[in-house]
Amino acid sequence: MNLRITGRTDRRDYERRIARRSLLRILLQKTLHILARFCIHGGLRIVLYRMMGVSIGRHAFIGLDSYLDDQFPELIRIADDVTISFRVTICVHDDARRMDRVSPGQLEGTVAPVLLERGCYLGAGCLLLPGVTVGERAVVGAGSVVTRDVPPGKVVVGVPARVVKDVD
């Protein structure tokens, strides 16, 4: 049973209660990911990512050597007409922990969905962190690190990514 989550969720809780998977399924996801990343044929690349568990709309493009989180691919949703350039990284989980003190549960990390809305564009080598939504027709500049939602119709660039203008 795979229930969708809408915000940041404890990783251990997600793995145990919401999206249980066998070791064999994890191995299959990782194998499909390796094949997809370096598959020359764009259509076959999309098929492999879908088999991995990523939700991909019509007329989407995913460039070579892009890293779509293979641990929790079901948390990535790519709408119609989205373009993902080469070497883009999309993370839906983190293993962050507190360094200033020891807290219960600090080693588990969190998971959060990443949503790419219709017609958005991700430039080469950009990084999307967990919980981010890139709005309709938004553009993420090459090499940008997206830490927050990108509003529809805006261009963001930089580390961290900031809005610089409207899409013309």
- Give yes or no for residue 37 having a pLDDT over 80: yes
For residues 135 and 155, what is the distance between their CA atoms, to the nearest angstrom? 10
What local confidence, expressed as pLDDT, does residue 20 receive?
82
What local confidence, expressed as pLDDT, does residue 2 receive?
43
What local confidence, expressed as pLDDT, does residue 95 receive?
74
168 in a structural domain: no
123 in a structural domain: yes
Place of tokens 């600090």: 106
Which tens digits make up the pLDDT trace of 52-107?
999 999 999 999 999 999 999 999 999 999 999 999 999 999 876 655 555 555 56
Residue 56 DSSP one-character state = E
CATH code of the domain containing 139: 2.160.10.10
146 in a structural domain: yes
Domain count, the chain: 1
Q: In this structure, are residues 49 and 57 in contact, taking their beta carbons and an 8 Å threshold?
A: no
Q: What is the DSSP string of 82-144?
A: -EE-TT-EE--EE----SSS--TTTTT-EE--EEE-TT-EE-TT-EE-TT-EEPTT-EE-TT-
